Amino acid sequence: MREIEGGITAPRGFEAAGVHCGIKKRDPDLALIYSSHPAVACGMFTSNKVKAAPIRVSLRKLRNGQAQAIVINSGNANTCTGRQGIKDAEEMARLTARHLGISENEVLVASTGVIGKPLPLSKIAEGIGKAGQSLSAQGGGEAARAILTTDTTTKEISVETGIAGRGKKKVKLGGMCKGAGMISPNLATMLCFVTTDACISPDALQEAIHSATGKSFNQISVDGDMSTNDTLLVLANGLAGNKRIKTWHKKKKRKVKDENFDIFSQALDFVLIHLAKLIVTDGEGATKLIEVKVNGAPFPQDARRIARAIANSTLVKTALAGASPNWGRVMSALGAAHTKINPDKVDIYFDNLAVVRRGEGAGAKEETLREVLKKKEIMITVDLNQGLSSTTFWGCDLTEKYVRINKSYL
């Protein structure tokens, strides 16, 4: 597998566009992704009980497992907008389908921005027409810009990997996402879109997405707040011409794992983990990327709870913002994670520097600790020494800028 140029339009048959339609004052605010051929479509959405109108519409459309386009607006979440919000999301799909000459059942919808305001549908309708005329195989960058809200930079990646079999095929995956605040997924405000030219069954694609999300977007946090609009959509149009990827296939009357499923899944894991880390790095007001590794947990859920508790701790995050060598905050956070552990067995490291041994201070010098914590990327490793389970979670520090951004966000 190798990284390539192109982002969301790197795979064969995909075009994209990003335009300004007037939801925002000046920046691009409407994006369109289009596949020249109908694609297998799968998705994952927020588990927040309050779900945006476009999520409800896209969930219904995904029942047939196929789509050919995704239309996305930023600046307005179309959440808590009642029946009119549903009608507006459906109208976005209908207008997009009409401009592209495809079925409206094959157009998925996503939105991000302020909650509780009606969509300015006349502006969006104009933007859809403009985006439809601007579609290009080089349009991925503008599409990535058009989905941003408080993000400071676009978030894109594309990769190519070889699929085994007769006449080895090259399969490409491209992705873009947005997210900087309101980030604490169970599948954060996070939107992510992935395209691939791989030929893959719907069941295999959904399994790969579910697994990759568990390793990526469900392992990050900026502020501990879960969005109403979290959306991950993947389109696979099959234009690579590879033998159809399945989770299993028959071999001499036995079911064996499809080796190409593992190859595809590894590429998807790489794409989503890369994008997830970009979200955390660009967290609102963040200055540092924090990687929390928890090893030696009794069970996987214990490792996840402890890692999430440390990454979400306001006291840990503010200490890291100020390069304060207060390792006691990490101990306090892991002890509050509702797990059955023995704190007297815990070791903690900041990067490779031991700060806790068997639940007590390891005698690290404050000056040395401060130098470690001044870095832009910091690893906190917690060895529980109480089992075989482990996990990795990504977070960021918390600065005054986060408060400034969010106290006036409208």
User: What's the helix, strand, coil split of the chain in %, to 5?
Assistant: 35, 30, 35
- Catalytic site residues? 189
- Contact assessment for residue 154 and residue 56, using Cβ atoms and an 8 Å cutoff: no
Whole-angstrom distance, CA of residue 71 vs CA of residue 193:
11
Report how far apart, in Å, the C-alpha atoms of 140 and of each of 143, 157, 175, 237 are.
5, 10, 9, 17
Point out which residues pair with 231 in neighbouring strands: 45, 191
Report the number of secondary-structure helices (H) and strands (E) in the chain: 11, 17
Could you give phi then psi for residue 79, rounded to 5 degrees?
-120, 145
DSSP 187: -
Residue 29 CA to residue 46 CA, distance in Å, equals 22
Kindly tell me the burial class for residue 400, based on how many C-beta atoms sit within 10 Å of its own C-beta (0-12, 13-18, 19 or more).
Answer: exposed
What per-residue string of b and e applies to 380-390 under the rule 16 or more CB within 10 Å gives b?
Answer: bbbbbebeebb
Backbone angles phi, psi at 112, to 5 degrees: -155, 145
